[in-house]
């Protein structure tokens, strides 16, 4: 298993999803998901972008470094916030980011 494959599996398990369900979000079949996780195939940018909508930390998948919103892995509220935040438009995310920044 390569590093990207291991991190894909980590994110899938963090979200409590099967390989089939995770792969479907990414637009691939379950066997392709298994191949990604084993490092036998590399995921496409299209696949990775589709995973953002369920709260997958793409920065973590590609680099091994969690993005700032994904540090609280054990906090259910933070995970829900991350999943919802990922569904917002760019403008909506900016508004929320500005609001949070004004509170800190």
CATH assignment of the domain containing 57: 1.10.260.40
- Give the count of beta carbons closer than 10 Å to the beta carbon of residue 19: 20
SS3 31: helix
The predicted-structure confidence for 41-97, as pLDDT tens digits, reads as follows: 999 999 999 999 898 999 999 998 887 665 545 565 666 777 777 778 889 888 888
Domain total of the chain: 1
pLDDT score recorded for residue 6: 93
Residue 1, pLDDT above cutoff 80:
no
Choose between 72 and 35: higher pLDDT: 35
């Amino acid at each position: 298993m390569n590093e990207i494959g291991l991190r894909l599996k980590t994110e899938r398990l963090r979200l409590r999803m099967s390989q089939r369900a995770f792969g479907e979000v990414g637009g691939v079949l379950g066997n392709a998901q298994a191949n990604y996780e084993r490092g036998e195939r590399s995921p496409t940018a299209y696949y990775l972008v589709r995973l953002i909508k369920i709260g997958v930390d793409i920065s973590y998948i590609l680099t091994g470094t969690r993005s700032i919103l994904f540090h609280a892995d054990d906090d259910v509220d933070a995970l829900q916030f991350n999943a919802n935040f990922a569904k917002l438009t760019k403008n909506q995310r900016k508004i929320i980011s500005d609001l949070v920044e004004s509170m800190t």
